[in-house]
Structure 1
Amino acid sequence: MQLPKLLALDVSGVVKNGDMKFLEPLQPRLTTLVLHNCIILESSLQSIYKVKTLRHLDISVAESSYAFQLTPNMLRLLIHNLPKLKYLDLSGNSLDTSDEEKKAELTENVPYFGPIDADFIEEGGGYVYEDEMVTYREETFSISKFLSNCRRTFKFLGLLHIDDEVVDTLPASKVANLSCETNILTALQMYRERKQFALVSMNAFFDTIRAVDCKQVVACVELCKSLGVNRILSETHSASLFHLSRNNYRMHFTDQTKQLIITALLDAIEKCRHLKNVTLLRNCGLALLNFDIPGDFYFEFERVVKNFLSVLKLKDSEGLLPRIYVYMCNSIVCHVEGDKKLLVGKLGLVECMLQLIKTGLEKRIYDEVMETAWSALWNVTDETPYNCKIFVSGDGMELFLSSLQAFPDKTDLLRNMMGLVGNVAEVPELRRQLSKHVGVFIKLLQNKSDGIEVSYNAAGTLSHIASDGPEHWIGGSVTRQDMLFHLEAAVDSWDINSQRNINYRSFQPILRLLDGNHSYQVHLWASWAIANLCSVSPDKYCELLQKENGAETLENLSRRRGIPEKVKTLIDTAIRIYRNHVK
């Protein structure tokens, strides 16, 4: 078959016997010939030499069994006979310089191959040689050095495996080998569809990044994003993104570069999540941990949360995935407020944390995941009634009681759980659900395992329940008066200067208790809370009191007739600290 007008031919993996006679009818116009993963013999080169119009020649091999041993003379003839060649890919082949006769070729003159007039070539003209020849004086042949003396400028040279020597003078716009960062990136770019080459290049790229020696971060990230979902490549590129996001690099990043890396990591999670590639998901999680959470995630906030929650639904026998992703979820809800906290709840974080807790209880395992899941629930329900409702409707109180029974001596767990219950108690329509467990909260009033935090939150919960009045009391066998007695005794036992492990964003729930005609013990807890917080953290809480006009509420209560002395003393203490601090 005659194909005189054919310009490009790709027969990758087709030629298995080295026979290139099919090129003869293509000689007049063929400019591109791709013989990747084909078996090349010395006789094959003779056929290739005749295609004088070639500008692009690819004889690379990814299969080691197909590698062709090029001799210096073969390479010299290849360049000599293809004067228009601008793209040459030799990657994966080998170089044979063992024969003494071939070594002697190193001292031969190398002709000058260009520029040559195209019309002159097509008219059958000869080759132009420069009077002054270039001579090799090296003891060992190097393709890179040979090409650098060739006086030919290439657009691309593929030298992966065959020559990874560092040569600054290679006459090519782009070179693919492992000699330097730029060439490695070129290899990744050119070989993204050739997995064997891409993996070798990616490993070299990874070593460069790990050594904190990467200069082209944006180009690196773009290439990582483009490598697809091949398992090994994805694991390597996610590990590379981890090292790129370390502080050594990140401290120099613009916001745009940070967002580029985060987007690449989210893309990787979404592409490979269905493959349940635990290693990749771990790498991505560890890389995301390097960023400021949640500050660096705001540009893709909803997408980030959705991905974290979806990963937490996967199984990981070693338990590292849930540890990483539940920590990031908790970091997010610990720092966001208002609409974003509400959004996190609507995206399913509460249900996800409850499931993690349920799994831990079924296995009778108390670990970092369970503790952090309760912490996340404490944070996500703060000042967010919607999320509190999801917790209660999702059998959250049953899991609270089960966790308390299974792990009664875990101090951090108790603090987190009671902090959460305290948030639920601030929602009037949910307090009836808590009233059934008054006896449990009274017992926790005596708990001093974590300073006063467990006792304090139990007292806060009881105060909010009591604020609904005697007509709504359903404390079971516990009378309301007994509860109030225990509540007062607990508050009286606390040191007003106790340091706190708590973070109030608003005083409104406490101020509402002070503003109403509630029982004396309710006022006692609320006034103690404000006096204590203003005493131990005046900078923060006096400012918050001013912002929310809380001082006015305190002063009104202080002037009220019949106010118990203990309550008045606490309120006056808070007012004095406030006045001294806010000038």
Structure 2
Amino acid sequence: MVHFLHPSRVPRSLVPPDARKDAQGWRVVQEEASPYPLVDICLNVLIANLEKLCPERPDGTLCLPEHWNFPQEVADHFLGMMTWQGRLTDKTASIFQGNQMNLKLVSIQKAKISASAFIKYFCHQKLIEVDATAVHSDLPVPDIIRGLCSSNWIQQNLRCLLLDSASVPHNSRPLSFGQLTGLRTLSVFNVWFHSEDLANVSQLPSLENLDISNTQVTNISALLTCKDRLKSLTMHYLKCLTMTKPQVFAVIRELKCLLHLDISGHKQFRSDLAFDLLQQKDILPNIVSLDISGSSYITDRAVEQFIQQRPAMQFVGLLGTDAGYSDFFTAKQGLKVAGGASLSQILEALSRYRNRSCYMRKALHRLFTETFSVHVTMPAVLQLVAIGMRNHPLDLTVQFTASACALNLMHQGLAWGMPVRLLSEVICLLFKALKNFPSYKQLQKNCLLSLTNARILTDVPFDRLSAARFVLGWLYKDENPKIQTMAVSIFSILALQLTREQVTQLDEDLFMAVKELLAIVKQKTTENIDDPTLLFSLKALWNLTDESPATCKHFMENQGLAICIQVLETFSESTIQRKILGLLSNVAEVRELSAKLMTEDVVKHISTLLHSEQIEVSYFAAGIIAHLTYDKQSWLLCDLQRSALLQDLHASIQKWPSSRCKMSALVTYRSFKTFFPLLGNFSQPAAQLWALWAVYHVCSKNPSVYCKMLAEEGGLQLLCDIQVDGQANPQAQQIAVSILEDFRMHFTSYRRFPLC
């Protein structure tokens, strides 16, 4: 029923970055620390209860209630949230049928919906943008195009179509985009897209932005067809290109309107095309953005000369090259660089290449080096790391390197300046990585190290049951003393935060945890080693047994009582005594186990510690005596000893300071229910007095929690009974009156709680 939670010495207030020095960090703190928009909260509730709120058609699909209508912006956002949460299926997508949802922007990234559902539920809308990135193979590219072309309005007005990593059956060649005459932006990155498809696309009358990266295009000459309108061309990792460099340059030279060109390389395809491009003086006169990351033979001098001849340039990508290190790149006003030479270049790379795993790996590796000894809170940087983890969940290198970067950015003091929501996302992403890569030990170590953070363990929401299982796995398997100490310290806090139901859900893990923790305690005691591992193990056992009869039973079955006696006989430090007594008090509260504590050794030690000068030690010893003496039947053969214990208990309480006294550690309770039998037992005034003292102590320290808990659990009536009972101990009556007065003071608005 009781546990200790040591208050942190670190201030719990948020320390935002200096907006003058770190505007991005300030923005992230403002966003993450602010409440979610009301519209998002409402839509999340709707998504969570979609099948309850939306009627079902005869075919099993859902429809919106008859009088519901969504504004266009809300409808677009709602669809995006459904897709993001993985809730968009043929059954749920059917709510977009008809005219109650007016969509313009359709985001179905990674969704698993069929071609018939896409056409039926979305292609009757007046769409201007469609993002089908990595959509499931049930909806291949030809069917997407066919569906969009089924609407004359979409043919003329669709402006943006993203098909990255979508599937193309081999029997559906070639692709026909010709009817989408309004299309301005097309991305077919990582799609089975050939030169003949490029010829078809180049004839689109409005095309301005094209991404043909990692496709099967061998010849880009078809781009000459749209040379007077193409503004952006991305052909990263164009591995099948068979043209000579002069032929490629001949095409690019004709693209007079081109503002952005991306010919960046790849770890498997390091091209020297960019090196020769930089030597050209009569090419790309209006270029604003040039990406040559991952290219070979790139030098600072060559890049500088190219940019100096084109003063309007605003961006250059140099990650994975030998360029970007000269002062020119920091001195030139208005020029952004994605590279690895400085933190600002690395952050630009993380932002630009968030969807490219090969560059994300490089950028994260450089970030780890740059932040290894960082002493400044950088929430914007941590947010970029989280985006990389989220976008590449199955890339081990990204996940491992990102976990190391997150450790650098969140270590101890730095975490206190991070928004809780951002920290929560990072921890959840780390646990997702553990599921995807359960055998990669270093990734697991990074996650374990992240959990040693006081801010994360106390304030950040995450799945603590899964975390407890993960930490216990380390406790069983790893014999490294430092790892063992880490695992035990984390688990001791997690055990406190688990609900009773969650503790029960640990099942076999719970039994193994008790057994392993007792083994550690026994080993340390035998070796007479009083170290943090011993203290954390005792704390974990204390918190695990709190209001958990099953754990208390495991404790007793694994010789826990004998080990506790050995600890008390070996160590005299009050910190250890306090933890042992707190643990035994939890066992004493379990009626079917309390009789097993009434041994000569236990009673002797408890009686001695009752008179400790340390109030905390005396307090817990008194609690054990109060619970052990409650049942007279167990003491039939030694009633004199029971009477002596109760007299000793009463005399000790008289020597204690006021219930409002401050203990060296904060005593906290999950419930007062185990106190109620003692409060209602007028035949045992000493035990009743201890229970009142304990209740008043925590109520005076945290009235908003404990006075309310006392009322909601029905404890006020017991206090009223003590107050009015003529036979009650006067001191007990006085404490009962004080608790009731505190309640009235803090909860005057709580009319539903009857007061005497």
How far apart are residue 159 of structure 1 and its match?
4.6
Q: 1:356 to 1:193 in 2, by over 3 A?
A: farther
Residue of structure 1 in register with 2:674 after alignment? 509
CA contact 2:278–2:302 (8 Å) conserved in 1:
no
Query: Is 2:412 aligned against 1:215?
Result: no
Residue 377 (structure 1) aligned with residue 544 (structure 2) = no
After TM superposition, the score normalised by the length of structure 2 is 0.54
- Answering whether residue 280 of structure 2 is matched by residue 77 of structure 1, we say yes
Matched, 1:439 2:601: yes
In the alignment, structure 1 residue 280 sits paired with structure 2 residue 455: no
Verify the 8 A CA contact 1:53 1:82 in the aligned structure 2: no
Letter in 2 for 1:551: L
Tell me, in whole angstroms, the C-alpha distance in 1 between the residues paired with 2:405 and 2:488.
Answer: 23
Counterparts of 1:15-94 in structure 2, within 5 Å, are 32=235, 34=237, 47-51=244-248, 52-53=250-251, 57-59=263-265, 75-77=278-280, 80=283, 88-91=291-294, 93-94=296-297
Are residues 78 and 347 of structure 1, via their aligned partners in 2, closer, same or farther at CA, if it must alter by over 3 Å?
A: farther
Q: Is the 8 A contact 1:68 1:93 kept in 2?
A: yes
Match 1:317 to one of 457, 468, 480: 480
Q: Alignment partner of 1:503: what SS?
A: strand
Task: State the shift of 1:90 in Å.
Answer: 4.8
Counterpart Cα distance in 2 of 1:205 and 1:184: 14
Could you tell me which residue of structure 2 aligns to residue 327 of structure 1? Answer: 489
> Which sections of structure 1, spanning at least 5 residues, go unmatched?
12-22, 39-43, 97-139
Where does residue 302 of structure 1 map in the other structure? Answer: 465
State the 1:332 CA deviation: 3.9
Deviation sequence 1:430-480 (CA, Å, 0-9, x none) = 223323x2432223311255614444433433443332224x3488xxx34
Distance 1:238 1:449, change over 3 A: farther
1:512-534: per-residue Cα shift (whole Å, max 9, x none)?
1353475xxx4313314424764
- After superposition, the C-alpha distances for 1:15-59 in whole angstroms (9 at most, x for unaligned) are xxxxxxxx9x957569958488x9xxxxx9993222344776445
CA RMSD of aligned residues (A): 4.8
- What is the aligned partner in structure 1 of residue 330 from structure 2? 166
Normalised to the residue count of structure 1, the TM-score between the two structures is: 0.68
The structure with more radius of gyration? 1
CA contact (8 A) 1:467 1:513 kept: yes
2:468 partner SS: helix
Matches within 5 A, 1:504-543: 504-516=669-681, 518=683, 522-531=684-693, 534=696, 538=700, 540=702, 543=707
Rounded to whole Å, the distance in 2 between the matches of 1:487 and 1:48 is 97
* Stretches of structure 2 lacking an aligned partner (at least 5 in a row): 1-193, 199-211, 224-233, 253-260, 745-756
Structure 1 partner of 2:640? 481
Summarize the Cα distance change of 1:419–1:88 in structure 2 as closer, same or farther, 3 Å threshold: closer
Asked if the contact 1:10–1:34 (Cα under 8 Å) also holds between the matched residues in 2, the reply is yes
Alignment correspondent of 1:392: 556
3-state SS, counterpart of residue 291 of structure 1: helix
Counterpart CA distance in 1 for 2:353 and 2:636 is: 69
How many residue pairs were aligned?
Answer: 495
Deviation at 1:315, TM superposition (A): 1.0
Q: Deviations over 1:307-352 (max 9, x none)?
A: 3333433415241x34344334333443565545x45665845641
Q: Does 1:417 align with 2:417?
A: no
| Partners of 2:290 and 2:315 within 8 A in 1 | yes
1:200–1:191 distance in 2 versus 1, CA, 3 Å:
farther
Contact 2:292 2:317 in 1 (8 A): yes
Distance 1:510 1:427 in 2: 12
Percent of residue pairs identical = 16
> Structure 1 CA distance, aligned partners of 2:697 and 2:338?
68
Shift of 1:235: 5.0
Contact map agreement 1:62 1:196 (CA 8 A) in 2: no
Secondary structure, aligned partner of 1:445: helix
Kindly indicate whether residue 559 of structure 2 is the aligned counterpart of residue 559 of structure 1: no
Contact kept, 8 Å, 1:49 with 1:78, in 2: the verdict is no
**Which structure is higher in RCO with an 8 Å CA cutoff and minimum separation 6?**
2
**AA aligned opposite 2:447:** L
What is the deviation of 1:143?
Answer: 0.6
- Residue 355 of structure 1: how far off its partner (Å): 0.8
How far 1:571 sits from its partner (Å)? 2.0
Kindly provide the CA deviation profile for residues 93-151 of structure 1, in whole angstroms up to 9, marking residues without a partner as x. 3456xxxxxxxxxxxxxxxxxxxxxxxxxxxxxxxxxxxxxxxxxxx835145236337
Change in Cα spacing, 1:10 to 1:211, as seen in structure 2 (3 Å) is same
Corresponding residue for residue 356 of structure 1 = 517
Work out whether residues 545 and 552 of structure 2, in 8 Å CA contact, stay in contact via their aligned partners in 1.
yes
How far the C-alpha of 1:358 sits from its partner, in A, is: 0.6
Q: How is 1:80-229 mapped onto 2 (pairs within 5 angstroms)?
A: 80=283, 88-91=291-294, 93-95=296-298, 141=301, 143-144=303-304, 146-147=306-307, 149-150=309-310, 157-164=317-324, 165-166=329-330, 175-179=338-342, 180=344, 181-186=346-351, 189=354, 192-193=357-358, 197-198=362-363, 200-203=365-368, 206=371, 211-213=376-378, 215=380, 217-226=382-391
CA shift in 2, pair 1:235/1:32, >3 Å: closer
